[in-house]
Amino acid sequence: MAEREATCACGGLRVTLAGEPLLVSTCCCTRCQRRTGSFFGVTVYFRPAQVTGRVGEAAEFRRPGSEATFRFCPRCGSSVWWAFDDPAEDIVGVAGGAFADPRLPGPHRMTHTATGHPFVTSPQGIPTYEDGPPD
């Protein structure tokens, strides 16, 4: 089974995931832009049971008015993974860039394009949504 490691910029905070991700999603909402310092966020979704290892101390940021609590490295500031407040959401999100692995599957969808920069485009053929994805 494939095993992947997501790592913060300094290497102090790491999470290991077993198996393939459920979904890779890119998001152009303004909250993701501010959180990442980039023009869009990339979330790689796994089941919590796929988390096979965690190393390092994580600081937490609960985004106001949001549904998620982000875990980031207190030394370098990189977000590495996040969980959703609703326990029915049986998923964990991991920062796509934290894998630094070009073999990671590409995005399956792009959301919140209404607030995205016009030069940020999605790969051909994936669904795009002006706002959030449909449930």
Where do contacts with Zn ion occur on this chain (CB under 5 A)?
8, 10, 12, 27, 29, 32, 73, 75-76
The least CB distance from residue 117 to Zn ion, in Å, is 13
| Cα distance between residue 109 and residue 96, in whole Å | 13
Measured from the CB atom, the residue of 29 and 94 that comes closer to Zn ion is 29
Measured from the CB atom, the residue of 1 and 134 that comes closer to Zn ion is 134
The least CB distance from residue 1 to Zn ion, in Å, is 27
The least CB distance from residue 57 to Zn ion, in Å, is 10
Question: What phi and psi values does residue 96 have, to the nearest 5 degrees?
Answer: -60, -45
Measured from the CB atom, the residue of 8 and 44 that comes closer to Zn ion is 8
Measured from the CB atom, the residue of 19 and 36 that comes closer to Zn ion is 36
The least CB distance from residue 11 to Zn ion, in Å, is 6
| Cα distance between residue 91 and residue 60, in whole Å | 17
DSSP strands (E only) in the chain: 3-7, 14-18, 23-27, 41-46, 51-55, 59-62, 68-72, 79-84, 92-95, 109-111
The least CB distance from residue 10 to Zn ion, in Å, is 3
Tokens matching residue 115? 């607030």
Taking CA atoms, 11 is separated from 16, 72, 79, 93, 94, in Å, by 13, 12, 12, 19, 15
Measured from the CB atom, the residue of 4 and 112 that comes closer to Zn ion is 112
